[in-house]
Structure 1
């Protein structure tokens, strides 16, 4: 059985368009601690029939924590494993920007937070003319769990059972993929779909080739 993790906001085939019709899906929240999400996944999503877990971005962290003591394979799309790539220039720059933004948030300045976050994560500057319609999105993003500080280490993972798929558009995710490859993981770049490489028409082929070998 191949289990596909998605967020509550993008469920089932919308999250994993190439998943087969009998695919199993489970929703995990991005605003709860990774270890809590990992415990939930292990309790309600994993069993002896689980061959592989598919996960994307931040949700790759609870997936990795949940299966690291097992032989379950991981197919990870641009995993946000910032912990394993600390020290890399692009990783440290990203973390520094986020931490500065969260200082603004802690001071009650959601607008100040958004002026740093929007260009970093969504492209284009924050503008006062669109602030009212973006305020809810800013508040929602501010509630998300940061993708570092979870004690995740490449050497703790069963790297030969990991496939990392990236889109080749962001040096941070390529750096993370590089650290996983150094530990023994496989890596494939599927360009043209940004952060959602699972939308690439060859994604299912690439994932199946890895899992079936």
Structure 2
């Protein structure tokens, strides 16, 4: 089976830059408008896919509109490849997830009160590693401003078992308990899971990513992925 592959970025790199191991000349990359809401991103995905039945690749928070669109039935997909998917809604209550949400909520509260430095002092070690450094504040301020207002990946109504009828591969980097917790939940509902260590939140940058995808698409072609409906 030959299917169209469509690649959806996360909160950082966009377009082909978000998927450096993919052949940019023969691939399609969907980029959302900067500042667009998750709801707007779902509408963009539905509008651009039309009647086609793609294999959707989505990284990090890009998995949220991808899953919402696929689960809605408004587009038909051949399968999903979710790379470090930020599907926090399906694992609410787990300690690592709640710690992350609590920290981001506090950081946003600091930003809303006008204390962007206080926000960044929380977000920087949480998202990028390394403590806040006043010496680098001027250079990092634009990044802090973006992360203080970017979409958060929870509160969007994603529920467990939304994908039980869609062949799904989850790829994680084996470095962060939040993403491994999300992966375990998806696996419990029938998804396949591949861990690629060495690139943390970007396992798609590693050579082994292409191997994992070839195995998954081969199973799709052979019809040997599990039917979870």
TM range (shorter): over 0.9
Q: Which runs of 5+ in 2 are unaligned?
A: 220-229
Q: 1:174 aligns with which of 173, 176, 180?
A: 180
The DSSP-based 3-state class of the residue aligned with 1:188 is: strand
Separation in structure 2 between the aligned mates of residue 12 and residue 102 of structure 1, nearest angstrom: 27
Which residue does 2:103 correspond to in 1? 97
Q: 2:65 aligns with which of 62, 67, 87?
A: 62
Q: 1:39 aligns with which of 36, 39, 43?
A: 43
Separation in structure 2 between the aligned mates of residue 125 and residue 191 of structure 1, nearest angstrom: 24
Cα offset for 1:38?
0.8
Q: 1:114 aligns with which of 107, 111, 120?
A: 120
Paired residues in the alignment total 212
Q: Deviations over 1:100-131 (max 9, x none)?
A: 11111111110110010001001111111111
Separation in structure 1 between the aligned mates of residue 164 and residue 44 of structure 2, nearest angstrom: 21
Q: Which runs of 4+ in 1 moved over 6 A?
A: none
TM-score w.r.t. the length of structure 1 is 0.93
Moved more, 143-152 or 62-71: 62-71
Correspondence list, 1:1-40, <5 A: 1-6=4-9, 10-20=13-23, 21-29=25-33, 31-40=35-44
The DSSP-based 3-state class of the residue aligned with 1:53 is: strand
Which residue does 1:203 correspond to in 2? 209
Moved more, 173-182 or 121-130: 121-130
Which residue does 1:86 correspond to in 2? 92
The DSSP-based 3-state class of the residue aligned with 2:120 is: helix
TM-score w.r.t. the length of structure 2 is 0.87
Cα offset for 1:30?
6.5
Cα offset for 1:67?
1.3
Separation in structure 2 between the aligned mates of residue 131 and residue 189 of structure 1, nearest angstrom: 35
Separation in structure 2 between the aligned mates of residue 56 and residue 8 of structure 1, nearest angstrom: 9
Cα offset for 1:35?
1.8
Change (3 A) 1:25 1:98: same
Residue pair 1:159, 1:185 contacting (<8 A) in 2 also: no
The DSSP-based 3-state class of the residue aligned with 1:154 is: coil
Separation in structure 2 between the aligned mates of residue 109 and residue 117 of structure 1, nearest angstrom: 13
Which residue does 1:147 correspond to in 2? 153
Which residue does 1:49 correspond to in 2? 52
